[in-house]
Amino acid sequence: MSRRARIVVVLPALAGLAALLAWSFTGLPGFGSFRGPYGILLNRVATPERHMTNVVNATTYDYRSFDTMGEEFILFAAVIGIVLLLREDDRDRRAEDRVRSEMVRSGGGLTVGIGVLVGLWVVAFGFVTPGGGFQGGVAVASAVLLLFAAVGYRAWSTLGNETVLDPIEGLGAGGYVAVGLAALASGLPFLTNVLGPGIAGTLWSGGSAAFVNWSAGIEVAAAMLLLYAEFLEAHAVPVMRGAS
Amino acid sequence: MIGTLVPLQSVGFALVALGAPAIVLTRDLLRLVIVNGFYGLVLVVLFVVYGAPDVALSMLVVSTVAYPLVLLVAISRVRSHGRET
C-alpha cells in the first residue's frame, strides 16, 4: 500500500477515534467524585475492626483474601508455563561472564543488600504503610537480579536456579492455602482471620493475614526470580556459548 | 494541601505528556528500553502525586526492572538469531 493510501485509510479512523474520545470525556464524572460504597465502608471499618492502617492490604489479604489466592495461583501457573516454554536441555556454563569494573562490583553488591532489605521492609509493614507482599516480593526479586548486573552470571546463577527457587515458590503458594486451612480446622470459614487483630500501626497488627501477606511475598519473590532466571538463561547462555 | 498538590499534578501530567511521544519517536531498540523505563518512573511520580502509593510501588519495580529485562532478553535473542542466518 502506498504512503498516500495509508494516510487516506488512517485519517477517518483517527477522526472517529478522536470524536469518540471527546464524547466520552464529556460524560466523565467530576474530578474527585467517587462511586464506590464498598471502598467508603472499608475505609470506615478496617482500622477499628482489624487494626490495619493500610486499608488496601486489609482488603487484599483479609476481607478479600480468597480473591487474592486466585491471583496468586494465576501468577504461579503463568510462571510454570514460561518455565516449561523456555526449558532447554543442553547447557554450557563453562564460559566466563564477569563484571570487571571494581566500582560496579562493590557499588552494585551494596545495592543488592539495600534493595533486599527495602523489599523485606515493604512486605513486613504491609498492614501499616503502603506496600505488602506483592510489591515487596517484586522488590526483593529485582534487588537479587542486580547480582547479575553487578557481579556476573555465575554469581547470580548460584541463587537464580530452579533447584533453589522451586521449593521457595511452593512454600509461598502452599503457605497461603495452609493459613486458610488453619481457619477451617478451627471451625471457621476458609481464610478467616483467626489470630487477634493486634495493635494498629505496629508490626503486631494483621493477625493471621500477616502470614497470608508473607506467603504472598515469598511466592511473588520466588516467581519473579524464576522468571528472571529463565529469561537470563535464554539470554546469557547462548551469548556465552558464542564467546567461548 | 491542595495548594501544593495542583502544581505537582500539573508537572506530573506534563512529564507524562512529554514522555509518551519520546517513546514513539525513539527508533533504536536499546534506547527505547531505557526511555520506556524513564517513562515508567514518570508514571510512578504521577501515581504518588495522585495518592496511590501502592500502585506506584508496583509500577516502580515492574517498569524499571522486570519489563526492561524481558525486553532486553528478547532484543538480544532476535539480534543473535539475525547474526547466525
Domain spans of chain B?
2-84
The contacts of residue A134 (CB under 8 Å, 6+ apart) are A216, A217, A220, B58
Cβ–Cβ contact A232 with B under 8 A: yes
Range of the domain at A59: 52-243
**pLDDT band for position A244 (50/70/90)?**
very low
- The residue type of A87 is R
Q: Is residue A29 included in any domain, yes or no? A: no
Sign of the C-alpha dihedral, residues A98, A102, A104, A107? positive
Q: Which residue of A has its CA nearest to B72?
A: A235
Whose CA is closest to A58, among A135, A122, A128, A124? A128
| B interface test, pick of A235, A237, A239, A240 with most B CB neighbours within 10 Å | A235
Q: Is residue A212 included in any domain, yes or no? A: yes
Helix ranges, chain A (H): 3-26, 37-50, 55-58, 65-86, 102-124, 133-150, 153-159, 162-185, 209-243
Query: Which grid coordinates belong to A242?
Result: 558464542
B26 φ, ψ to 5°? -80, 125
> Where do we find the cell 516467581?
A223
Q: Is residue A150 included in any domain, yes or no? A: yes
pLDDT in tens, A126-177: 999 888 999 999 999 999 998 888 888 888 888 888 889 999 999 999 999 9
Task: List the single range of A108-112, A140-144, A189-193, A236-240 with lowest mean pLDDT.
Answer: A236-240
B64 φ, ψ to 5°? -100, -20
d(CA A211, CA A214): 5
d(CA A88, CA A93): 13
Q: Is residue A46 included in any domain, yes or no? A: no
Complex ipTM, two decimals?
0.78
**Number of structural domains, chain A?**
1
pLDDT of residue A141: 94
Task: List the single range of A45-54, A184-193, A209-218, A226-235 with lowest mean pLDDT.
Answer: A226-235
Q: Select the residue of B54, B58, B80 nearest A138 (Cβ to Cβ).
A: B58
Residues pairing with B85 in the sheet:
none
DSSP A29: P
Q: Is residue A5 included in any domain, yes or no? A: no
d(CA A53, CA A206): 9
Cβ–Cβ contact A151 with B under 8 A: no
Contact check, Cβ <8 Å, A242/B62: no
**pLDDT band for position B28 (50/70/90)?**
very high
- The residue type of A59 is T
Maximum alpha-carbon separation in chain A: 72
> Where do we find the cell 527505547?
B32
pLDDT of residue A14: 95
Contact check, Cβ <8 Å, A134/B61: no
pLDDT in tens, A56-97: 899 999 999 999 999 999 999 999 998 888 876 555 554 456
Contact check, Cβ <8 Å, A138/B72: no
Query: How many Å is the Cα radius of gyration of chain B?
Result: 16
Query: Measured between CA atoms, how close is A184 to chain B, in angstroms?
Result: 30
Q: Is residue A223 included in any domain, yes or no? A: yes
Whose CA is closest to B70, among A163, A241, A142, A88? A142
